[in-house]
Amino acid sequence: MNGTGDASLRTLVLAPSGRDAPLSIRLLEDAGFSAAVCQNLAELTQKLWQGAGVLIIADEAIDDEQLQPLVNFLDSQPTWSDVPIILLTRRGGGPEDNPGTLRLASILGNVSFLERPFHPTTLTSMVRAAARGRRRQYEARLRLEQIREREQQLQTALTAGRLGAWTLDVASMSFQISDTSAEHFGSDLRTAPSYQRWLQWVYVGDRSRVQRALEHALRSGLDFVIEFRNGRPDGSLKWIDVRARAVRDHKLRVCSLVGVSSDISSRKQSELDRETLLADLALERTALSDLTRDLELRVARRTSELTAEIAAREKAQEQLMQSQKMEIVGQLTGGIAHDFNNLLMAVIGNLEILRKRLPNDPSMQRLIEGAMQGAQRGASLTQRMLAFARQQDLRTVSADLGALVSGMRELLQRTLGPGNDLRISIAPGLPPAQIDSHQVELAILNLALNARDSMSEGGAIDVHVDVEYEDEIPNGLRPGAYLRISIRDTGRGMNAATLAKAIEPFFSTKPLGKGTGLGLSMVHGLAVQLGGSLELASEPGQGTTATLWLPQASTAASGPETVSLPSAAARIARILVVDDDPLVAMSTVDMLEDLGHTVFGANGAEQALDIIDRERPLDLLITDHAMPGMTGIQLAEVVRRKRPHLPILLATGYADLPASRLANLPRLSKPYQQAQLQAQIETLLGVAQPELH
């Protein structure tokens, strides 16, 4: 065997007799072909399996019995393969003359005949033609393999994408569908793939839409792209996505639609779920924002309630602290004032005696007068302090407040001076008030003075008196009717800080030495002691209104106090003076002795009772109230039992008298002067009969 190279194009030569084989081999190799010699049909067939481009077979080498393997090989060739065979015949052995050769040719297939002896060129040109044909077969094989491979790839892609493939032939309006598309469109389309059947499976609600789209695609040649619902045999629906492209024939008419289908039910379901979820979420979000808004509103409401509560509590605490402070200051002031009262009592008493006894030297009298005025001012100061401390010795009566205020017109007008207008208005039909008239007059005067001082440029003062039942009475007052005196000025008013402190004792904005800062304290203390209150309302530049609330009296107003005149026959009396303060006792004794009376002094109740038991007759008992051991009232009660007719005079500067049937004993307020003492004694002794013993 000669020849190397590609076995698939070699020429196999089977010519066992004569010189045909070596001659052919030489000729072929000379012409550039690879060639191999075979000894018999079996070898040829075996080599053929390994690959060959052309076979040259001498007809005498073909033996019917050994031919079968070769026939088997040729029959088993793939469609692209048709091995070309050159059959060497003897002269006159061609197919036209030899039916056996013709039969052989029909068995072997692609056979060419070459009669021997052959011309070398004929052989080589026949082999060349056959080899070319064989090469084309190989090329066809390659193309077929490529097509198959591509088909496989397409199939893999379709399978991976779960896509079905289909074709609609326009002429017959019938489908060609893959198994997957049959699952999508309806399994009976495998056997009867008509368009009408295909359309029947489309959900009735989507059918006309699908039909229109398909007709449009066929008419226009544009892509057919649609999603629709398809029925299943079990009655359920599935969503199908279809995409197809029109294919045109050589006349450019749309002859078919080629496309793919896919089941998008789960995607549609997720879309549906997503939409439902989004709708639910939107609902929840709305509900949540409603809730948040509601919550914010409630928080804001509660916060403002709490803020108001805290503010109210802080205000209440502040008021409590303020009232506790005032209570303590009041106690302190009251205590100091009380002690000062006793001292002033001694000073005033002794000064009076001194004034009488000293020679009538004007310069000395002036000195005493100066000392006396100082003491008097001190006394009025302590009076105010006691008033603030609500420890004033008040004598409340049922009084006509309207008449009282009207009666002050002249005094007020004089106090205010010509630059200020005074207007007084009294509501008609006022009930009486339960007050100490003198102290209330003082209070009104104080308020009027404050008003005047605030109107340095002149202005107007309105004094108005009326009555208020229940509705508008200030907090803290017991329910009932109250008389109201309001004094309104057009002065400079007060800022918040001044207003807050105005009532505090010793608070004054007046220059040093001009104001005691006790005016409003006294008015306030008096009002509270009487069971009423003082209210101030003011704004800078807007003037001030001071309102005094005083309780209504339960009895009719008594007439103006009638002072009983001292009896003409003033007489010398025997008087017992009881006071634990030696200074006070001494000055009272001095004043009485100066008036010519016989005086017994006692430093307390015990000593007094001794004297009462011992000394007869006695015309009068003058006693202090606040004493260690037995108080003045208690002493009076004992004395009343021993000597029921002995007149008793209570000398006190202190308001804390207990509720006793003797609480309304005749009283003399400390510090008193000799004339006041004398007037009281004369009244008592004039009314009371001297004791008969």
Q: Which of 519, 532, 632, 653 binds Mg ion (CB under 5 A)?
A: 519
CB of 453 to ligand ATP, least distance (A): 6
Is residue 415 a contact point for ligand ATP (CB under 6 A)? no
Binding mask 457-496 for ligand ATP (x = CB under 6 A): --------------------------------x-x-xx--
User: Whose Cβ is closer to ligand ATP: residue 230's or residue 544's?
Assistant: 544
Start-to-end Cα distance in the chain: 193
Number of residues that bind ligand ATP (CB under 6 A): 21
Beta strands (DSSP E) in 514-588 are 533-538, 544-551, 574-578
Q: Which of 69, 95, 515, 686 binds ligand ATP (CB under 6 A)?
A: 515
CB of 446 to Mg ion, least distance (A): 5
Q: Which of 84, 330, 349, 519 binds ligand ATP (CB under 6 A)?
A: 519
Query: Pick from ligand ATP, Mg ion, none: which does 548 bind, CB < 5 to 8 A by kind?
Result: none
User: Whose Cβ is closer to ligand ATP: residue 201's or residue 340's?
Assistant: 340
Is residue 450 a contact point for Mg ion (CB under 5 A)? yes
Q: Reduced to 3 states, what is the DSSP secondary structure of residue 491? A: coil
Contact by Cβ (8 Å): 77, 87 = no
Return d(Cα 581, Cα 627) in angstroms, integer.
Answer: 9
Contact by Cβ (8 Å): 35, 5 = no
DSSP label at residue 95: T
Q: Which of 81, 174, 415, 498 binds ligand ATP (CB under 6 A)?
A: 498
Position 13, amino acid: V
Return d(Cα 535, Cα 477) in angstroms, integer.
Answer: 12
User: Whose Cβ is closer to Mg ion: residue 330's or residue 519's?
Assistant: 519
Sign of CA dihedral 278, 283, 287, 292: positive
Q: Which stretch binds Mg ion (CB under 5 A): 56-64, 518-526, 582-590, 685-693?
A: 518-526
Q: What angle do CA 642, 648, 654 make, to 5 degrees?
A: 125
Is residue 516 a contact point for ligand ATP (CB under 6 A)? yes
Is residue 544 a contact point for Mg ion (CB under 5 A)? no
Listed in sequence order, the DSSP H helices in 246-361 are 265-357
Closest to 38 measured CA to CA, from 6, 74, 78, 66: 66
Return d(Cα 149, Cα 174) in angstroms, integer.
Answer: 28
Closest to 346 measured CA to CA, from 655, 623, 581: 581
Return d(Cα 123, Cα 23) in angstroms, integer.
Answer: 10
CB of 315 to Mg ion, least distance (A): 27
Is residue 510 a contact point for ligand ATP (CB under 6 A)? yes
Q: Which of 214, 451, 576, 620 binds ligand ATP (CB under 6 A)?
A: 451
Beta bridge partner(s), residue 342? none
Query: Pick from ligand ATP, Mg ion, none: which does 521 bind, CB < 5 to 8 A by kind?
Result: ligand ATP
Beta bridge partner(s), residue 225? 243
Cis peptide before 117 (omega within 30 of 0): yes
Q: Which of 24, 89, 342, 450 binds ligand ATP (CB under 6 A)?
A: 450
CB of 327 to ligand ATP, least distance (A): 18
Q: Which of 348, 518, 557, 575 binds ligand ATP (CB under 6 A)?
A: 518
Question: How does strand 237-248 pair with strand 224-231?
Answer: antiparallel
Return d(Cα 446, Cα 518) in angstroms, integer.
Answer: 10
CB of 417 to Mg ion, least distance (A): 16
Residue the block writes with tokens 């209150």? 533
Return d(Cα 582, Cα 250) in angstroms, integer.
Answer: 150
Number of residues that bind Mg ion (CB under 5 A): 2
Query: Pick from Mg ion, ligand ATP, none: which does 518 bind, CB < 5 to 8 A by kind?
Result: ligand ATP
Return d(Cα 662, Cα 671) in angstroms, integer.
Answer: 22
Is residue 186 a contact point for ligand ATP (CB under 6 A)? no
Return d(Cα 517, Cα 509) in angstroms, integer.
Answer: 8
User: Whose Cβ is closer to ligand ATP: residue 374's or residue 596's?
Assistant: 374
For the chain, what is the largest distance between any 2 Cα atoms, rounded to a whole number of angstroms? 209
Is residue 544 a contact point for ligand ATP (CB under 6 A)? yes
Burial classification of residue 363, based on how many CB atoms lie within 10 Å of its CB (0-12 exposed, 13-18 middle, 19 or more buried): exposed
Contact by Cβ (8 Å): 244, 217 = yes
Query: Pick from Mg ion, ligand ATP, none: which does 365 bind, CB < 5 to 8 A by kind?
Result: none
Q: Which stretch binds ligand ATP (CB under 6 A): 35-43, 50-58, 181-189, 511-519?
A: 511-519
User: Whose Cβ is closer to ligand ATP: residue 62's or residue 451's?
Assistant: 451
Tokens (6 digits) for 62: 């073909």
Angle (deg, nearest 10), helices 582-594 and 674-687: 70
User: Whose Cβ is closer to Mg ion: residue 178's or residue 521's?
Assistant: 521
Is residue 545 a contact point for ligand ATP (CB under 6 A)? no
User: Whose Cβ is closer to Mg ion: residue 347's or residue 440's?
Assistant: 440
Q: Reduced to 3 states, what is the DSSP secondary structure of residue 605? A: helix
Q: Which stretch binds ligand ATP (CB under 6 A): 35-43, 67-75, 416-424, 503-511?
A: 503-511
Binding mask 117-136 for ligand ATP (x = CB under 6 A): --------------------
By Cβ distance, which residue is nearest to Mg ion? 519
Residue-wise over 6-27: b if at least 16 C-beta within 10 A, else e? eeebbbbbbbeeeebbebbbeb
Q: Which stretch binds Mg ion (CB under 5 A): 106-114, 190-198, 301-309, 512-520?
A: 512-520
Is residue 330 a contact point for ligand ATP (CB under 6 A)? no
Query: Pick from Mg ion, ligand ATP, none: which does 486 bind, CB < 5 to 8 A by kind?
Result: none
Q: Which stretch binds Mg ion (CB under 5 A): 25-33, 219-227, 235-243, 511-519?
A: 511-519
CB of 503 to ligand ATP, least distance (A): 7
Q: Which stretch binds ligand ATP (CB under 6 A): 34-42, 518-526, 615-623, 685-693?
A: 518-526
Cis peptide before 22 (omega within 30 of 0): no
Query: Pick from Mg ion, ligand ATP, none: which does 344 bind, CB < 5 to 8 A by kind?
Result: none
Tokens (6 digits) for 135: 């090469």
User: Whose Cβ is closer to ligand ATP: residue 519's or residue 532's?
Assistant: 519
User: Whose Cβ is closer to Mg ion: residue 431's or residue 515's?
Assistant: 515
Return d(Cα 221, Cα 41) in angstroms, integer.
Answer: 60
Tokens (6 digits) for 245: 């492209």
For residue 177, give the H/E element and its range. strand 174-177
Residue-wise over 493-517: b if at least 16 C-beta within 10 A, else e? bbeeeebeebbbbebbeeeeeebbb
User: Whose Cβ is closer to Mg ion: residue 348's or residue 523's?
Assistant: 523
Query: Pick from Mg ion, ligand ATP, none: which does 89 bind, CB < 5 to 8 A by kind?
Result: none
Binding mask 520-539 for ligand ATP (x = CB under 6 A): xx------------------
**Positions that interact with Mg ion (CB under 5 A):** 450, 519
**Positions that interact with ligand ATP (CB under 6 A):** 450-451, 454, 489, 491, 493-494, 498, 502, 507-510, 515-521, 544
